[in-house]
């Protein structure tokens, strides 16, 4: 089946767009028709968000068997030093002579952070000497116009990009974090300004999330759907939805080309190293540990926990290594003509009982009971935990699944090995 080419979302696509107009003569004049107004915080509908985490695949770092055209393509990656971004860079190095790292200024340069990751991935020192000259970087800030660059630097950057992988994002679950909207929505607007300003008409590969399904808890979410009718519980989910709206409008009105990738929970079972970005399963385990420290009365006398959950609660998790491979390979096998959308997911959902068992083992908690039966009145401690860590507890109310027809048509569905079960998840928490 051909990749979906939806002209836009079915509902909620035309949110208000009253924003200050750009100065005459700037690149933003060309795309101000897709600007979106910031939402009022706290007015979202109901949602349970399946986490976005990561896993593993070993690859050669080529380039191998490449045509002259592919070698010469200029590829840039925003968010190149994030959890998924690092894996994308590794995959892109297999197919391109050079990769441009676009990331926020840090005390550790982007090239050095990528080098640390490659070393931790088992790349030899000899191979690193060959790879590092193929990495260059530009310090940017997607939250501000022109990515924080001057006019000349911005135009120079725009003119050198053939393919832009937009991986930068803020995954904070706080509705009080204004940086979420600035990074995810304003960031998309500023990235589209960049690709609109250059001479090369680049392909945009946007990393979205299955969380754009919003408050939908059950059933199967199709790749062609972008539906706000179920509402949003967090600013993060709303912001990723609005970013897709912007991108689809840009493709439709500007004549651009894009691939939208919606990964599920990306995890990895490979050991961490100093400075590696955390994945969300690690963050969830840390939240559980913090909740128990704050409210020790939540535990039963034997140390076990009873947690309310929906019958058959499940989530979708995928090794990050396969996700990065499938994304890069999908664009190689089917270059988009307008816009293609892919769910990058595991064909097997993971029962939340297995997730709970893995976290309990990591925390040395005797057992976590997921109980779908109505319980006694909620205690003040449980109410406080729901307020403090509500995003994590909402995972326990979800049973939805995801269609991955488009990746399957390219032979890129997850092969199912390694199996994402409690043993694999425990390895992810080492």
**260 or 6, greater pLDDT:** 260
Q: Look at residue 426 in the predicted model and tell me its pLDDT.
A: 94
Q: Give alpha helix (H) positions in 145-225.
A: 151-158, 178-181, 187-197
**Interhelix angle for 110-120 vs 83-93, to 10°?**
80
Which range has highest mean pLDDT (175-179, 234-238, 371-375)? 234-238
Identify any residues that bridge with 306 across adjacent strands, giving them in sequence order: 369
Q: Look at residue 20 in the predicted model and tell me its pLDDT.
A: 37
Grade residue 297 by pLDDT with cuts at 50, 70 and 90. Answer: confident
Calculate mean pLDDT across residues 371-383. Answer: 64
Q: Look at residue 40 in the predicted model and tell me its pLDDT.
A: 39
Strand 220-221 relative to strand 401-402, pairing: parallel
Write down the mean pLDDT value for the chain: 82
Calculate mean pLDDT across residues 93-110. Answer: 94
Q: Nearest 5 degrees, angle CA 236-CA 237-CA 240? A: 85
Exposure b/e, 225-255, CB count within 10 A at least 16 = b: bbbbebbbbbbbbbbbbbbbbbbbbbbeebe
* Per-residue pLDDT at 175 exceeds 60: yes
Following CA atoms 125, 129, 131, 136 in sequence, which dihedral angle do they give, to the nearest 10 degrees? 130
* Per-residue pLDDT at 291 exceeds 70: yes
Grade residue 254 by pLDDT with cuts at 50, 70 and 90. Answer: very high
Q: Give alpha helix (H) positions in 13-78.
A: 68-72
Pick the range with the lowest mean pLDDT from 46-55, 235-244, 347-356, 365-374: 46-55
* Per-residue pLDDT at 37 exceeds 50: no
**Distance in angstroms (rounded) separating the CA atoms of residues 364 and 357:** 10
Pick the range with the lowest mean pLDDT from 51-65, 134-148, 202-216, 259-273: 51-65
pTM for the predicted model, two decimal places: 0.82
**Distance in angstroms (rounded) separating the CA atoms of residues 154 and 198:** 9
**Distance in angstroms (rounded) separating the CA atoms of residues 191 and 147:** 8
């Amino acid at each position: 089946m051909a990749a979906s080419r939806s002209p836009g979302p079915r509902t909620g696509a035309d949110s208000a767009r009253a924003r200050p107009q750009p100065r005459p003569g700037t690149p933003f004049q060309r795309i101000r028709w897709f600007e979106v107004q910031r939402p009022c915080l706290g007015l979202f509908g109901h949602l349970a968000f399946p986490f976005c985490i990561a896993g593993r695949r070993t690859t050669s770092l080529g380039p191998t068997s490449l045509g002259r055209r592919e070698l010469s393509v200029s590829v840039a990656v925003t968010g190149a030093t994030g959890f998924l971004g690092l894996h994308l860079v590794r995959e892109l190095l297999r197919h391109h002579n050079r990769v441009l790292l676009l990331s926020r200024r840090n005390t550790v340069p982007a090239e050095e952070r990528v080098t640390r990751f490659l070393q931790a991935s088992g790349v030899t020192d000899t191979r690193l000497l060959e790879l590092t000259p193929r990495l260059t970087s530009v310090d940017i800030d997607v939250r501000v116009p022109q990515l924080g660059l001057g006019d000349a630097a911005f135009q120079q950057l725009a003119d050198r990009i053939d393919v832009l992988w937009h991986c930068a994002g803020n995954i904070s679950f706080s509705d009080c974090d204004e940086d979420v909207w600035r990074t995810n929505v304003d960031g998309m607007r500023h990235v589209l300004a960049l690709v609109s300003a250059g001479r090369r008409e680049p392909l945009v590969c946007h990393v979205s999330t299955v969380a754009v399904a919003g408050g939908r808890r059950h059933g199967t979410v199709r790749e062609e759907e972008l539906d706000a009718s179920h509402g949003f519980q967090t600013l993060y989910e709303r912001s990723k939805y609005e970013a897709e709206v912007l991108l689809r409008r840009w493709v439709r009105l500007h004549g651009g080309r894009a691939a939208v990738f919606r990964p599920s929970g990306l995890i990895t079972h490979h050991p961490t190293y100093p400075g590696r970005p955390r994945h969300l399963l690690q963050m969830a385990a840390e939240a559980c540990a913090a909740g128990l420290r704050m409210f020790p009365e939540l535990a039963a006398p034997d140390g076990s926990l009873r947690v309310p959950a929906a019958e058959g609660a499940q989530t979708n998790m995928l090794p990050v290594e396969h996700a990065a491979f499938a994304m890069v390979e999908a664009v190689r096998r089917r270059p988009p003509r307008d816009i293609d959308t892919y769910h990058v997911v595991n064909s097997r959902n993971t029962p939340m009982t297995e997730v709970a068992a893995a976290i309990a083992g990591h925390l040395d908690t005797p057992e976590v009971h997921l109980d779908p039966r109505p319980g006694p009145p909620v205690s003040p401690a449980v109410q406080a935990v729901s307020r403090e860590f509500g995003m994590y507890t909402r995972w326990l109310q979800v049973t939805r699944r995801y269609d991955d027809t488009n990746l399957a048509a390219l032979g890129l569905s997850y092969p199912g090995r390694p199996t994402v079960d409690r043993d694999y998840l425990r390895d992810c928490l080492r």
